[in-house]
Amino acid sequence: MPYSLRRCFVEKMIFALLACSATAANAATIIQNVRVFDGAQVIENATVVFESDQIKQVVSDGKWDGKIEGAEIIDGDGFTLLPGLIDSHTHTFQRPFLERALDFGVTTSIDMGTMIPTMRMLQEEQAAGLVHDRADIFSAGMGATVPDGHGTQFGFEVPTLKEGDDPDAFVAARFDEGSEFLKLVMDDFSVVGFELPTLTSAQVYALVEAAHRRQKIAVIHARDAEGYLAATQAGVDGFAHGLSESRPEPPLLEAMANHGPFVIPTLTTTEGTQGGPGGAAFAEDDVMEPKLDEREKTALKRIRFENPLFKFDFSIALDSVRAFHQNGTPILAGSDSPNPGTTPGASLHRELELLVEAGLTPSEALKAATANPADAFGLVDRGRIAPGFRADLLLVEGNPISRITDTRRIAGIWKRGLRHDVDSPESQVKAD
Question: pLDDT tens across 322-350, in order?
Answer: 999 999 999 999 999 998 789 999 999 99
Query: Domains plus CATH for the chain?
Result: 1-84+383-421 (2.30.40.10), 85-380 (3.20.20.140)
Sign, Cα dihedral of 164, 212, 245, 264: negative
Is 371:385 a contact under the CB 8 Å cutoff? no
Give helix 314-326 / helix 250-259 axis angle, nearest 10°.
Answer: 50
Binning pLDDT at 50, 70 and 90, where does residue 91 land?
very high
DSSP 128-148: TT--TTS-EEEE-TT-B--TT
pLDDT above 80 (res 13): no
Question: pLDDT tens across 202-243, in order?
Answer: 999 999 999 999 999 999 999 899 999 999 999 999 999 999
Report the distance separating Cα 71 and Cα 431, nearest Å. Answer: 41
State the average pLDDT for the chain: 88
| Residues composing the chain | 432
Q: What is the pLDDT of residue 333?
A: 98
